[in-house]
Amino acid sequence: MMLTAEQLVANQKATVETLFELTNKAFAGVEKLVELNLQVAKASMSEVAETAKAAMSVKDAQELLSLQASLLQPAAEKAAAYGRHLYDIAAATNAELTRAAEAQIADAQGKFMATVDTAVKSAPAGSENAVALVKSAMAAANNAYESVNKAAKQAADVAEANFQAMTNTAVKAAQSAPKPRRAATAA
C-alpha cells in the first residue's frame, strides 16, 4: 500500500512540529543554564568583594589562616549546590526530550502497525508467512527498544544516586575539616 500525498504532507508536518518542539525544549534548558550561571556570577562578584575587604583587614598570619578556613566550607557547599543545579537542569531537559522522543516513536510504531494491518487485509492468499515474519520482527524490535530504554533509565538512576552520594560526601568532608585555632594575641 502506498502513502497518499495527503499522508506524506501530514507526516512531514508532524516531523517539523516535533523538530520545533524538541528545539524549544533544548533552548529552554540552555536558558536555565544561562540564568543559573548569571546568578552564580553575580553572587561570586559580591563574595569576592567581601573576601577582598576581609583579607585587607587581616592583621597577622593566624588571622589570615582563620579567614581562609572560614571560606572553605561555604565554597565546597556552593560548588556542590552549583553542580546539583547543573545536574537537575540537564536531567529535566533530558527527561523532557526523552518523553517527546518516546511519544514520537510510539506514534510512528502505531502508524507503521496500522499500515501493516491494512496491508495484511489486502494481502494476496499465501502471504501469511511473510506477514507473520513482519509482525514478529516488529515485536522483536519493540522488545529490544524497551529493554534498551529500561537499561538506560536504570543507568541514569544509578548515576543520579552516585552523584548525590558524592555531593553529600564532599559537603560532609568540608564541614568536618579541622579549623585552625586562633592564637591568643598578646596585648
Q: What is the pLDDT of residues 75-122, one digit of tens each?
A: 888 888 898 899 889 989 988 888 888 888 888 778 777 777 777 777
Rounded CA gap, 80 and 92, in Å?
A: 18
> pLDDT for 41-67, tens place per residue?
999 999 989 988 988 888 988 888 888
pLDDT at 183: 46
Which one-letter DSSP state was computed for residue 58? -
> pLDDT for 121-178, tens place per residue?
777 777 778 777 877 887 888 788 788 878 877 887 787 777 777 777 766 766 666 5
Rounded CA gap, 88 and 90, in Å?
A: 5
pLDDT at 186: 42
User: How many Cα neighbours within 13 Å face the side chain of 109?
Assistant: 16
Q: Which of the four pLDDT bands, split at 50, 70 and 90, describes residue 187?
A: very low
Picking from 186, 140, 187, 167, the residue whose alpha carbon sits closest to that of residue 76 is 167
Q: What is the pTM of this model?
A: 0.61
> pLDDT for 2-23, tens place per residue?
567 887 788 788 888 888 888 9
Find all residues with CB under 8 Å of 155, minimum gap 6, and list them. Answer: none
pLDDT at 118: 76
